[in-house]
Amino acid sequence: MKEKNMLHVLKQSRYTVVLSGVELLRENGYPLLRDGDESYEIEKEYGYSFEEIFSSGFYSARKDLFFRFYKEIILKAAAIPPGKGFACMKRLQDYGLIHSIITRRIAGLEERAGCSSVLNLRGNVLHNKCPNCGRSYSMEYVKQAKGVPLCEDCLVAVRPQVSLFGEMIDNGVMTRAAAEVERADVLLVLGSALHSPLCSQTLQYYNGTNLILVTESEHYSDQQADIIVYGRSDEFLERLVEEYKKEEKGQ
């Protein structure tokens, strides 16, 4: 389907929800920390796998090493600014073509690009709290702390507001995600296969008529989609923005 026709679908939609997947991060220059060379380097440097060290058990038992890893790996990656995919997502939201965004990614790229109505199923690195008094701390506070970042009031280790391995997603967050997907008549899946955790946790609530999938690789689960676009999500979003601007100028 050409972008002009795709744009028509979005314009006719009462409520469009985006599922923002991992391919958008890769397109944005983020390292794939659980796969490939990065995972081997992490285990070589820290003596543990990504899943082991970025876990609730490790946070509880080995805070020094956990925060060394968190600052050197997780927050270093999070310093990469949002690129054109997220900027175009923001533009489409400004045009009224996207109403809310759901993601499992913790980098907070959608928020940093200026998007609103973003639901992070696993939280994001922008938010940190003292588990004792609830005082909030910025990502910069955690990054700049020497060793374990401590609450200035309680001297208790600050807790990143992200779901670590071994933890369940908050029921309240999942309830909100289910309500958003159920409300949508158009569901735009960007950079994620339909069998991924992001989709498998949410698609069961979708009752609309236009499930649009944009992904780089073919998979047998693609057949669940009503419309399929193979390619980069950031380039797809950029083409939609350009087509919208052309229509607004009457071209």
What's the rounded Cα separation, in Å, for the pair 50 and 165? 10
Distance CA 151, CA 239 (A): 46
Q: Are residues 134 and 203 in the same domain?
A: no
Measured distance CA(71)–CA(65) in Å, rounded: 10
Query: Are 238 and 221 in the same domain?
Result: yes
Q: 172: alpha, beta or left, given left = phi > 0 and alpha = psi -120 to 50? A: alpha
Q: Are residues 150 and 216 in the same domain?
A: no
Q: Are residues 21 and 135 in the same domain?
A: no
Question: How long, in residues, is the chain?
Answer: 251
Sign of the Cα torsion 58, 64, 67, 73 reads negative
Q: Are residues 196 and 235 in the same domain?
A: yes
* Shared domain check, 197 and 140: no
Query: Coil, strand or helix: which one is 171?
Result: helix
User: What's this model's pTM, rounded to 2 decimal places?
Assistant: 0.92
Q: How far is residue 192's CA from residue 97's CA, in Å, rounded to a whole number? A: 20
Residue type, 95: Y
Number of domains in the chain: 3
- Whether residues 135 and 202 share a domain: the answer is no
Residues 210 and 118 in one domain: yes
Please name the residues in contact with 220: beta carbons below 8 A apart, sequence gap of 6 or more: none
* CB-based burial label for 172 (10 Å; 0-12, 13-18, 19+): exposed
The per-residue pLDDT for 77 is 87
Q: What confidence score (pLDDT) does residue 4 get?
A: 61
Return the structure tokens found at 173.
């967050």
Is residue 67 a contact partner of residue 148, using CB atoms and an 8 Å limit?
A: yes
**CATH no. for residue 87?**
3.40.50.1220
| Domain CATH for 136 | 3.30.1600.10
Same domain? For 205 and 242 the reply is yes
C-alpha atoms less than 13 angstroms from C-alpha of 140 in its C-beta half-sphere: 0
Do 67 and 89 belong to one domain? no
List the domain range (segments joined by +) for residue 150. 125-162
115 and 158: one domain? no
Q: CA–CA separation, 82 vs 111, rounded Å?
A: 9
Q: Residue 123's CB: how many other CB atoms inside 10 A?
A: 20
Last residue of a domain, one of 52, 79, 106: 79
Residue 96's Cβ-side half-sphere holds a number of Cα atoms within 13 Å equal to: 5
Successive 10-residue mean pLDDT values, the chain, 251 residues: 78 97 91 74 90 93 96 90 96 97 94 96 94 96 96 96 91 95 97 93 94 94 93 96 89 58
One domain for residues 62 and 181? no
Residue 47 is encoded by which pair of tokens?
């003596």
The order of strands in the sheet holding 136-137 is: 136-137, 123-129, 159-162
